[in-house]
Amino acid sequence: MRLVTALLVGLIFGLGISVSGMANPAKVLNFFDLAGTWDPSLAFVMAGALAVAIPGYRLVLARPAPAFEDRFQLPDTRVIDRRLILGSATFGIGWGIAGFCPGGALPAIGTGDPAVFLFLAALIGGLLGARVLQARAPARKPA
């Protein structure tokens, strides 16, 4: 049952990405190209998602626990440190180069487009590379 609901949730997300156009790097990159072929669609995707998720989370998180688990797993870190800022800034650079982000690329697997697999292979390389670096350098104090 848990796996079936997870599959369906994934499907809704994947369908959302497909319908929104966010699996398409050309469209994503055009959102960032204010001075050129600007396409504001991505802002509408974010607006639609937040319009549902803000009230939806408020309702759900007011409950004592999720349906299939004992508790909600929410991030407990609150610090805004160099790691968060530089990491996110780095992500934006890569996003601006490739036009894919992880959430757009995972559903895009279903299209079978070779570029998606190239992106995901590089993405996994980056994730594992960062994991190795992080294991070597013990967590420093927040900036």
Partner 1 sequence: METTFTPWSSLGGGVLIGLAAVLLMALHGRILGATGILGGLLRFDDPVDWRLRAALVVGMAAGPLVYLLATGQMPIIDLPISNLAVAVGGLIVGVGVSYGGGCTSGHGVCGNARFSRRSMVATLCFMATAFATVFLLRHVVGG
Of residues 60 through 119, those in contact with partner 1 by CB under 8 A are: 60-61, 63, 65-69, 71-75, 77-80, 83-111, 113, 115-116, 118-119
Does the protein bind partner 1 through residue 137 (CB under 8 A)?
no
Q: Please enumerate in sequence order all residues whose Cβ is within 8 A of that of 14, keeping only pairs 6 or more positions apart, or say none.
A: 106, 107, 110
Site for partner 1 in 12-71 (CB under 8 A): 12-27, 29-30, 32-37, 39-42, 44-54, 56-57, 59-61, 63, 65-69, 71
Min CB(41)–partner 1 separation in Å? 4
CA–CA gap between residue 82 and residue 128 (Å, rounded): 20
Cα atoms in the 13 Å half-sphere on the side-chain side of 88: 5
Place of tokens 């998602």: 49
Does the protein bind partner 1 through residue 143 (CB under 8 A)?
no
Does the protein bind partner 1 through residue 142 (CB under 8 A)?
no
Question: What tokens appear for 58 in the block?
Answer: 């408020």
